Amino acid sequence: MALVLGLASCGGQDDNSGESGNPITIGVLGPISGAFADAGLNYRQGAQIAADQINARGGVLGRQLKVEAKDTAAGPQEASQAVRDFVSSGTNFLIGELSSANCLADAPLVDQLDAVFITGICSVEELTGQAGQAAPYSRTFRAGATSSANIVAMADAIGRRFPQVTTYDSFAFDYVTGHLQWDQYVQAYADNGKPITVGKDLWVPMDQQNYGSQISVLATASTEGEHKGLYIGTYGAGTASFLQQAEPYDFLKNYEVVVTPGGYYPVARDLNGSAPLVWNGYEYNWAAYDTPENDAFVADFEALAGKKPITWSYVSYVAVLAYAAAIEKAGSDSPADVAAALAGIAFASPQGEYLIDAVTHNGSANIVLMETEGDPNDPERVRMLETIVIPYTDTVTFNF
C-alpha cells in the first residue's frame, strides 16, 4: 500500500527549495514495519488524503504537496536517523510518530536542525507546554491530545454517566504510561469528589499473550447486578487477545461499564462483529461530527482505504492541514517562517475550527467518548451506539 501511495522514503533534491513548481514535501515518521505497521499505514493515508485535497484546490502558494515516509518502528535511534535523513534531503516539515520515546528523541533534534515537527499520537506531556507554560521545544507542535486530557476527560464523562459505579477492576499493561493513565483515571474521580474503590488491580507484561489466569480472577470477581466497572489499559493486539480470551467466560456483561483509552476502535473492528459493549475515549471518531470537512475526510478515506478513518488517520490529516495553513500565512516555505506561523494558527478541520496555541504549542483537540458494540451486519462490523464530544475548551483544565 505504501508503494501504491508513493509514500516510500527516498533521498533526492531539495523539494522545499522554494523554487516555483517544486513540490513541498512533508515527511511522515512512524512504523512501516512491525506490530504497529497498520497504525503507521493509517497515519500515512490520513496525510496523503489531506495533501490530495489541498493539491486539488491548487496546492499551497501555487505548489503541490508531496508526502514521503520513513520507518521508525525500531525505536528512538532509528527515529533520530530518519529525522536527519529527511532534513539532509531538504524535507524540513515532519509529522507523525506513535511512540512517545521516539517523540522525545525527535523534538530536541528538530530544534537543533532547524526543522519543524507536528506530532499527533505522542501523548507525553513533556513535548509541549502544560498549564499555560511555554513550549519546551520551539519547533515542535501537537495535533492530538495529551494523555491527561484524554484520560481525565474520559473519567469525568463516564463518572457523570455512571455515578452509581463506585468500584473498578483494572487490567493493564505493566509499563510507565499504563500506570500513569490508570493513576490519572482514579485521581480524576477523587478530584471530582467521588473517589472510587480499586478492586482487582491486574498488570501484565506487554509481550504476554495468554491471559488465562487474569481472566479467571476477573471472572470470579465480577457479579451480575453489581455497580462495578472494568478499566482496560492494554492496546492493540493485547486488547484484542484479552477480549477474545474473555468471551467464553461471558463475565464482561457483569460490569456496568467497561472503559478503555486510546486506539480501541480498530480493535473492535478487527473482532469481526464479536466486540463487547465498550466505552472508549480518544481524539476522533468518524461519527462524531456533522461538518462538510468531516464528510469530505470520511468519504475520501473510504475511497482510498475501503473503511472508515480512525484517530491515527485524523491527527495526521490535521497536521498536514496545519502545515498548509501556516505556509500560506507565512507566504514562504522557510522552516523558521512556518514555525512562527504555526504558533497561533487557526484553520478549518473536521471538528470545526482548529487552533494551535501560540504559547504551549498544543492543538485544540477535542476528546470523543464513544460507545461501541460488535455487529456482524454492520459494514465495519462495529455498531456506533453513541458519541459524546468533550470540547477542547473543557479539556484544557485537565492538563496537569
Per the structure, how many domains does the chain have?
2
pLDDT band per the 50, 70, 90 thresholds, residue 16: low
Q: How far apart are CA 180 and CA 167, in angstroms?
A: 19
Same-domain check for residues 190 and 206: yes
Helix, strand and coil percent figures for the chain, each rounded to 5? 40, 20, 35
Reported as type and span, the H/E element at residue 372 is strand 367-374
pLDDT of 7 reads 37
Confirm whether 361 is domain-assigned. Answer: no
pLDDT above 80 for 4: no
Extract the C-alpha cell encoding 35. 506490530
Q: Is the pLDDT of residue 1 over 90?
A: no
Is the residue at 8 inside a domain?
yes
Contacting residues for 47 by C-beta, under 8 A, at least 6 apart: 26, 28, 67, 95, 96, 316, 317, 319, 320
Q: Does 31 fall in a domain?
A: yes
191 & 126 share domain: no
Predicted confidence (pLDDT) at residue 81 exceeds the cutoff of 60: yes
Domain residues for 257? 148-282+367-398
195/329 same-domain check:
no
Q: Say whether both 137 and 157 belong to one domain.
A: no
21 and 75 together in one domain:
yes
In this structure, are 7 and 131 located in the same domain? yes
Segment 160-172 shows an average pLDDT of 96
CA pair distance 29, 109, nearest whole angstrom: 14
- The rounded distance, in Å, linking the Cα atoms of 69 and 30 is 8
Q: Would the pLDDT of 162 be above 50?
A: yes
Task: Tell me what pLDDT residue 17 has.
Answer: 46
Helix (H) or strand (E) segment spanning residue 296: helix 292-305
**pLDDT tier, 10 (very low <50, low <70, confident <90, very high otherwise):** very low
C-alpha cell at 83: 529525522
Query: Residue 165: is its pLDDT beyond 60?
Result: yes
The CATH number given to whatever domain includes residue 321 is 3.40.50.2300
Q: Is the confidence at residue 2, as pLDDT, over 50? A: no
Q: What is the mean pLDDT of residues 52-62?
A: 97
- Check pLDDT > 50 for residue 13: no
120/5: higher pLDDT: 120
Residues 185, 50, single domain; the answer is no
84 DSSP 8-state letter: H
pTM score, two decimals? Answer: 0.91
Q: Are residues 251 and 392 in the same domain?
A: yes
Q: Does residue 8 register a pLDDT over 70?
A: no
Query: With 60 as the cut, is the pLDDT of residue 177 above it?
Result: yes
Tell me, yes or no, whether 137 lies in a domain. yes
Q: Compute the distance between CA of residue 92 and CA of residue 330 in angstroms, rounded to an integer.
A: 15
209 domain residue, yes or no: yes
* Exposure letters 298-324 (e unless 16+ CB within 10 A, then b): bebbeebbebbbbbbbbbbbbbbbbbb
pLDDT at 396: 60
Indicate if 243 and 374 belong to the same structural domain: yes
Cα→Cα distances 117→29, 131, 342, Å: 10, 21, 10
Four-residue CA torsion sign, 32, 9, 124, 367:
negative
* Mean pLDDT, the chain, integer: 92
Q: Kindly tell me if the per-residue pLDDT of 356 is higher than 70.
A: yes
Nine-digit cell string for 109: 533534534
Q: Does the residue 70 lie in any domain?
A: yes
Does the structure show a pLDDT above 90 at 21? no
Q: Hey, what's the cell of 47?
A: 496525510
User: Are residue 110 and residue 201 in the same domain, yes or no?
Assistant: no
Residues 300 and 236 in one domain: no
Question: Which residue type sits at 128?
Answer: T
Where b means 16+ CB within 10 Å and e means fewer, 43-55 reads bbbbbbbbbbbbb
| pLDDT recorded at residue 20 | 56
pLDDT of residue 395: 74
Is residue 213 assigned to a domain?
yes
Q: Are 348 and 325 in contact (CB under 8 A)?
A: no
Predicted confidence band of residue 124 (pLDDT cuts 50, 70, 90): confident
What are residue 253's phi and psi, to 5 degrees? -65, -15
pLDDT digits (tens, 9 = 90+) for 234-271: 998 899 999 999 999 999 999 999 999 989 999 999 99
Query: Residues 276-310: pLDDT tens digits?
Result: 999 999 999 999 999 999 999 999 999 999 999 99
Same structural domain, 79 and 221:
no
Is the confidence at residue 14, as pLDDT, over 50?
A: no
Domain contains 335: yes
Determine the Cα–Cα distance for residues 370 and 157; give it in Å rounded to an integer. 11
